[in-house]
Structure 1
Amino acid sequence: MTDLPDLLERTAARTPVGPPPLDALRAGAERRRRRRTATLSGAAAAAVGTVISAATLLAPAPQPTPAAPPPTRLVGIGHAAIAVPADWPRNRSICGTPQQDTVQIDDSSMVLECLAGRPQDVDSVQVSGSPTVGFQADETLVIDGARAERQRTTCYDSSVGSRVCAGAVGIPALGVWFRAESSTSAEHVDRLLSRIRIVPDQAGVPSPWSVTGPPTGALAGGYVPLLSDAGLKAQVKQVKSPSYPSGTLLGVSPAAGTMLPLGATVTLTVAK
């Protein structure tokens, strides 16, 4: 029997021995390194993509910038005023019926008797120194410390077909009443009447209609005290007018209802 050590020695003697295959070893190692690098790069890219996707899902959607509210101006009598859109004109009405969004103060067309239709989607505010027609106090409230009376908003079908909603607020102690009307909705009326405020450092130019006088018009002598009571000053401008007696008040500037700082001057055009 041949011993195992002798068999190994003879086998080794017959096996040719050469230099180790270094190039092949290096090439195999390089292939394995590239495979590991590619695998790691793919995993890293997948991880980054996952993070970006998650961030995109979690980020809040951009919100639209809210539109700025339209500018307003104050109109009123004395220290009570209401904010109306700044671009509303005055007295755009036919026989007292507004034909577009408007504020009504000393609207001369109200004395005319006719059935003028109110177009759709027209809002208006009437400011007066006496209770508006049909005013009744359904509730009381306080506006900036002043007691006010509110006539609730109601809607009705007018005789010319449009549906009109109306409501009113009066402040008896300050001698001013506000009536809002809308052929859009009752909400428009309530929104308008919610903008009434008391402005201690300003005063509205009084209405000449609040002064009684001869049939030709109010007399300036009865109007000047109203300006003084409101904290405003009078400047008289006399003009020749053969149609009116001397002392008749022909106009005021700024117009009635304009809010002015206390001590401001109002120009009275008076017939001489």
Structure 2
Amino acid sequence: MNEAKLTELLERAGDRTAVNPPPIDAMRSGAARIRRRRTAVWSAAGTALAVAAVIGGSTALTNNTTTVVPQPPVAGNPVPEGMRLVGLGHVAIAVPKTWATNKLHCGTPTVDSVIVDPGPQGYCLVPRAAGVESIELGPLPADPAEPNAEIDGVPVAKQPEACTLVGSLTGQKVNFCSASVQIPSLKLTITAAVQGEGMEPTQMLERVFVVPDLTGVPGFQTLDLETSQAKYLAALKADGLVPEIVSKPAPGVPKGSVTAVSPVAGTMVPNGSTVTVTVAG
């Protein structure tokens, strides 16, 4: 049979064969079922990962293996790795564990330091070294600003960063920059500062937290020596802390005056903790 004859026979057979419309609805239905199955698979996988993140908080599935995923700090324990909380009342700021506490010379931080209840400082002019960062917890100014923000539901007044040119240890002029957060309910101001190169003060203040289950040990060194014990014990009790008084000789200090506290001022302790108060005997 030649090619022309074969073509003629195929055309005749095609004319005798009924051709129905294409099954569009069935095709669509089948495609929908495939999409639903794919969606169900991805939804199940996403739900499994979400449940794993909520319950376990530390694993994810990758190529049928379990991989540890770093998780953010949990509520109630906001301190990042390598840092410690320092504060007063239920407000605290996270500072590096390597930072000193009250490392000052004539009121000027000599190294990266958190400053809380530093006590009397000598009167002298000591330039801050370049790159030294500090966090200071102090009282509200005489004319505090109106709250313009909240931190964990607590109204605060955030003061913008301000920079001025100051003298340095090398005699060169460098920028001294600072920013602060005022917390009226605690009569507290947290000020971050840096001289020269370093972390921006506003970034440091992003580590301020409200920790309802912890209380900062109040300071005592700004109190009048002769009345410090009564005032300090009242401050402890007002914060829900329990004082335990220990008497030790302290030549030259009025009897009954507070000379030390443990844990030190600014330490965040569980609510209701006991604070040892050493007084001059």
**Residue 154 of structure 2 corresponds to residue 146 of structure 1:** yes
Residue among 193, 212, 222 paired with 1:200: 212
Residue among 135, 142, 151 paired with 1:125: 135
**TM-score, normalization by structure 2:** 0.65
Mapped partners of 2:271, 2:81: distance in 1: 26
Mapped partners of 1:184, 1:196: distance in 2: 23
For residues 176-208 of structure 1, give each alpha carbon's deviation from its aligned partner in whole angstroms, at most 9, with x where no partner exists. 210100124585201111111111110000010
**Residue 183 of structure 2 corresponds to residue 171 of structure 1:** yes
Asked if the contact 1:253–1:266 (Cα under 8 Å) also holds between the matched residues in 2, the reply is yes
Deviation >6 Å, runs of 4+: none
For residues 107-162 of structure 1, give each alpha carbon's deviation from its aligned partner in whole angstroms, at most 9, with x where no partner exists. 236x322111111111100012x126x98638611011110011110111114433
**Residue 102 of structure 2 corresponds to residue 91 of structure 1:** yes
Mapped partners of 1:148, 1:254: distance in 2: 27
SS in 1 for 2:260: strand
The structure with the largest strand share of the pair is: 2
**Residue 163 of structure 2 corresponds to residue 155 of structure 1:** yes
Residue aligning to 1:3: none
Residue aligning to 2:111: 100
SS in 2 for 1:221: helix
Q: Which runs of 5+ in 1 are unaligned?
A: 1-64
Q: Which runs of 5+ in 2 are unaligned?
A: 1-68, 73-79
- 1:227 maps to a residue whose letter is L
SS in 1 for 2:100: coil
**TM-score, normalization by structure 1:** 0.67
Identity %: 34
RMSD: 2.5
Between the two proteins, the alignment pairs up a number of residues equal to 201
Asked if the contact 2:102–2:116 (Cα under 8 Å) also holds between the matched residues in 1, the reply is yes
Asked if the contact 2:194–2:201 (Cα under 8 Å) also holds between the matched residues in 1, the reply is yes
Asked if the contact 2:132–2:198 (Cα under 8 Å) also holds between the matched residues in 1, the reply is no
SS in 2 for 1:208: coil
